Amino acid sequence: MIVRQLVRQSRQLRALPRQSRILSRFSSTETTGQTPVQTIVAEQAPQLETPAPAVAVPEPGTSGAQEKLDPNTLRRIKFHSLGSDVTGVYRPESLLKNPPKATDVTLEMLLANQTHLGHSTSRWNPQNSRYIFGIREGTHIISLDITAAYLRRAAKIVEEVAFRGGLVLFAGTRKGQKRAVVRAAELAQGYHIFERWIPGSLTNGQQILGHCDKKIVNGLDETIEDLWKEELEGYRALKPDLVVCLNPVENVVLLHECGLNNVPTIGIIDTDADPTRVTYPIPANDDSLRSVTLIAGVLGRAGEAGQQRRLALARKGEWTYKLMQPLRQQVEETTLETGEGQTPEASQEVVSEEVPSEGSPLDKPKEEASKDDE
């Protein structure tokens, strides 16, 4: 205790002269003299007496053609002319509104849309080893060279099926894939499904899809209304000629039914999926919406090109598919025109029997005809 008190007293004694010095500095009335500082002022250059003429700058959006517009339109034009023009900006809607063609797909485009990202190494399927480029931070990286090649092959298949007049079905049942599936089906003039696949739609299609409406179109895809309505009610349920599945992991039943009915399939195969379930796999990332939208848009654009080729030949009178067999009502109309239940071939045969040709055995007597036979 004694030592602490001594230390405190010594500190207080040291602080006294400092405080006195500070107080004396502020309490003194002496004026300190300031040394004059000489500043050199540069002489200004003489200004010109005649000022420069002012140039009138035209305001943006006030040209001669725009002066006739109303004030609201001029105000809108002036507002949009402000600011700077930004280029090279990513717009997510561009893949839906204007998807690229298969020939325009590049490795940079695939890389930007995250098609190279796979799953972790613990979830991989060994059958996808030929599609894997390498491993980075515990995640498999898909080879974009193989993805681009397989995507172009699938686009060619979709184009040829659409060119032959086939039915293309786009299926994507994951959350967020609805817009991409609908847009691809609109381009390819096909069909789409973005909800749960009903089991048995292909193997037992007559019971599940038999109540759906059917229509008949001509070669130019023009609907023929109110004709053969009774015959279409008993017509069998149609099956797709090609199925494009954007998430094969959740649609195993769909792929199994397609295999039983010999329907070819195209699917996006990630590193955890089974590539043997689809006919034409496309190794890519099926979890990214940008990746799925890009692939669906490319396939839809390919189907659009096939439909345009088919319609161009149809306008010239050439058909790229086998025509449908005539229905019962059409056959009855032809029989009524030819005669009493006889086809045109049968009527021609009857006429040839009634009018014999010259030099036939019917013109000769029966005895002469028998001699000739002997």
Q: How far apart are CA 363 and CA 360, in angstroms?
A: 6
Q: How confident is the model at residue 65 (pLDDT cuts 50, 70, 90)?
A: low
Q: Does 55 map to a domain?
A: no
Task: Give mean pLDDT, residues 259-272.
Answer: 94
Q: Containing domain of residue 251, as a range?
A: 105-196+239-304
**Maximum CA extent, the chain:** 173
- How would you list the strands of the sheet with 265-269, edge to edge? 191-193, 168-171, 242-245, 265-269, 280-283
Q: Does 129 map to a domain?
A: yes
Q: Convert the pLDDT of each residue in 271-290 to its tens digit.
A: 999 999 999 999 999 999 99
Handedness of CA 6, 8, 14, 17 (dihedral sign): negative
Task: Give mean pLDDT, residues 90-119.
Answer: 89
Q: Does 111 map to a domain?
A: yes
Percent of the chain with pLDDT over 90: 43
Q: Does 292 map to a domain?
A: yes
Task: Give mean pLDDT, residues 20-45.
Answer: 47
Contact 133, 143 (CB under 8 A): yes
Percent of the chain with pLDDT over 70: 66
Q: Does 288 map to a domain?
A: yes
Q: pTM to 2 decimals?
A: 0.65
The predicted structure's pLDDT at residue 90: 72
C-alpha 374: how far from its chain's center?
82
For 149, half-sphere exposure in the C-beta direction (CA atoms, 13 angstrom radius) is 6
The predicted structure's pLDDT at residue 292: 94
Q: Does 245 map to a domain?
A: yes
Q: Does 315 map to a domain?
A: no
Q: What is the CATH number of the domain that holds 252?
A: 3.40.50.10490
The predicted structure's pLDDT at residue 9: 57
- List phi, psi (to 5°) of 292: -65, -40
Q: How far is CA 281 from CA 133, 146, 171, 276, 346, in A?
A: 17, 11, 15, 8, 54
Task: Give mean pLDDT, residues 352-368.
Answer: 40
Q: Does 39 map to a domain?
A: no
In the beta sheet, which residues pair with residue 117? Answer: 141
Task: Give mean pLDDT, residues 309-321.
Answer: 87
Tell me how many domains the chain contains: 1
Handedness of CA 350, 356, 360, 361 (dihedral sign): positive
Q: Is the pLDDT of residue 77 over 90?
A: no
